[in-house]
Structure 1
Amino acid sequence: MPHVPVPVSPPAPPPAPVALAAEVADAVAGGRPVVALESTLLAHGLPSPQNRAAADDLEAAVRRHGAVPATVAVLDGVPRVGLSPAELDRVCGGGLVKLSVRDLGVAVGLRRDGATTVAATAALAHAVGVPLFATGGLGGVHRGARDSWDVSADLAALAGTGVLVVCSGVKSILDVPATLEVLETASVPVLGYRTDMFPGFYRRDSGHPVPWRVDTPADAAAVWSAHRALGSPAGMVLAQPVPPGDELDAGLHDRLLDEGMALVARRGISGKDVTPALLEHFHAGSGGASLHTNLALVRANAELAAQVAVALASAGRHP
């Protein structure tokens, strides 16, 4: 009996590399200011329904200061820079995996939904020509990394990704001096915004100085432009303390940190699950105070990033 070939449907074409929202695409093409925003904060860092309200709040903060917001995520296997309200609903609705740079190709290939970390957001923003990125806290070297080798991919990403990240330093759960040392080794400039001390996320002062200080968005824009013009492939950190009135009480912070570290050790939590577990403990144990602090600092960082983006665009400086 002759062999009859069985018809086979051709494989579906791969998703587009990166999809830009129309507003973001127009702004990038026209050289207008754009600020990227991460989605891990929304999907894993904040509880519902505060996360959905925060998504609108952060985008509105960017717009108030003259820039276009571009929240970044992977949906249906497509990396997206700039999300619609319905897409923000999906990000905040749960079920998204946490994606760092190494996970992007996997999520795209398997057509998964994922929330982007600092590293992944920086990579996708840079790929489409968006040089400004606002977040809450940068990832860093974890305590005990000498034994665990637990170092956030954020640091490696910044070493080779030309994006200016506006943040409130690193979370106090991390090894701050080791994190600053790694950034120095990677030739990533660290600037304090109106501060001589590196911020500690919930706290304004981590106890460690910053190498450089700037006091205006225009100065930050000038430093960033010079850094890029000199050919450095590295990103830059602009660290802004949480507003004074929104800082978490020192005694409460220290108690929650000690309890949280003990909880993580007791439950054997490690890797990328450590930060969400500790943030959840802070939120639950502070009666909502840490959530207020978190939202306040992220909003302030989005506003500052927008101001720097506007300064860059006004001066005609190429990222």
Structure 2
Amino acid sequence: MHRGAAETFDESADLVTLAVTPLVVVSAGAKSHVDVGATLERLETLTIPVLGYRTRRFPGFYVADSGHAVEHCADSSAEVAAAVAARDALGLRAALLVANPVPVADHLDSQVHDRTLAEALEQAREQGIAGHDLTPFLLDRIRRATGGRSLAVNIAVYRNNIAVATDIAHARRELSELSVALTAAVLFSRSRGE
């Protein structure tokens, strides 16, 4: 949900897609220039579960903590895999959003982030930049103001998300293999009259 979405109805089409697509999305959170609180409310309205990965704080992409809490968390990829299995067993159709913060060692300093974002938003307002032009404008201003540090954070976000998604996929496969083995054992036991 973009800032001011209550008046502009400017929200990402991704939210509606996530509400009807049963996949797992590993994300470092919403970009900091969106309305994170409204985004979390919209996710709840669309019944898209948010699961903090080793955190109870919703990440803010460039920063590990957006200032918003998450209600549920998982401490391991196996716990996420179990949540996915439960969702699938219940026949639920929404994606599971795994909120995976960028490691604190790699994130932007919160004060630098907040100051840089406020300045970029003010410049956008002064220049009348809005709508689909706002995001690239803000990202460019943040990149310039941080001397390219925000690009390094982007790379850390991608690497961390890929690592966590890979771990979840492996845990999901192991859980599926265990389920198949248990089902086979039960059917074998029944066929022998045990």
TM-score over 0.5 (shorter chain): yes
Superposed, which structure 2 residues align to 1:20-169 within 5 Å?
Answer: 141-169=1-29
Q: CA deviation at 1:158?
A: 0.6
- In structure 1, the gaps of 5 or more residues are 1-140
Instruction: Select 2:95's aligned residue among 205, 224, 235.
Output: 235
Amino acid at match of 2:35: D
Q: CA deviation at 1:243?
A: 0.6
Percent sequence identity is 47
1:27-49 CA-to-partner distances (Å, cap 9, x unmatched) read xxxxxxxxxxxxxxxxxxxxxxx
- Tell me, yes or no, if structure 1 residue 291 matches structure 2 residue 151: yes
Secondary structure of the 2:105 match is helix
Instruction: Select 2:84's aligned residue among 224, 233, 256.
Output: 224
Equivalent residue number for residue 271 of structure 1:
131
Q: CA deviation at 1:316?
A: 1.8
1:89-110 CA-to-partner distances (Å, cap 9, x unmatched) read xxxxxxxxxxxxxxxxxxxxxx
Instruction: Select 1:281's aligned residue among 141, 144, 158.
Output: 141
Matched residues in 2 for 1:229 and 1:236: separation?
A: 14
- Tell me, yes or no, if structure 1 residue 311 matches structure 2 residue 166: no
1:59-115 CA-to-partner distances (Å, cap 9, x unmatched) read xxxxxxxxxxxxxxxxxxxxxxxxxxxxxxxxxxxxxxxxxxxxxxxxxxxxxxxxx
Q: CA deviation at 1:273?
A: 2.7
Secondary structure of the 1:188 match is coil
Secondary structure of the 1:256 match is helix
Matched residues in 2 for 1:223 and 1:210: separation?
A: 15
Instruction: Select 1:195's aligned residue among 55, 59, 64.
Output: 55
Segments of 4+ in structure 1 off by > 4 A? none
Residues 77, 167 of structure 2: 8 Å contact kept: yes
Instruction: Select 1:172's aligned residue among 24, 27, 32.
Output: 32
1:294-316 CA-to-partner distances (Å, cap 9, x unmatched) read 11011100110011011111222
Residues 30, 36 of structure 2: 8 Å contact kept: yes
- Cα 1:268–1:239 change in 2 (3 A) is same
TM-score with structure 2 length normalisation?
0.87
Matched residues in 2 for 1:217 and 1:186: separation?
A: 24
Q: CA deviation at 1:150?
A: 0.8
Question: How many correspondences in the alignment?
Answer: 178
* Larger relative contact order, structure 1 or 2 (CA cutoff 8 Å, min sep 6): 2
Would you tell me which structure has more helix in proportion to its own residues?
2
Q: CA deviation at 1:201?
A: 0.9
Amino acid at match of 1:195: T
CA RMSD of aligned residues (A): 1.5
Equivalent residue number for residue 212 of structure 1:
72
Q: CA deviation at 1:190?
A: 0.2
1:180-232 CA-to-partner distances (Å, cap 9, x unmatched) read 11100111000000001111111111111101000101110110111122111
1:133-186 CA-to-partner distances (Å, cap 9, x unmatched) read xxxxxxxx1111122111111111111111110001111111111111110011
Residues 63, 104 of structure 2: 8 Å contact kept: no
Matched residues in 2 for 1:271 and 1:309: separation?
A: 36
Amino acid at match of 2:112: L
TM-score with structure 1 length normalisation?
0.54
Q: CA deviation at 1:270?
A: 2.7
Secondary structure of the 1:265 match is helix
Matched residues in 2 for 1:235 and 1:273: separation?
A: 28
Equivalent residue number for residue 301 of structure 1:
161
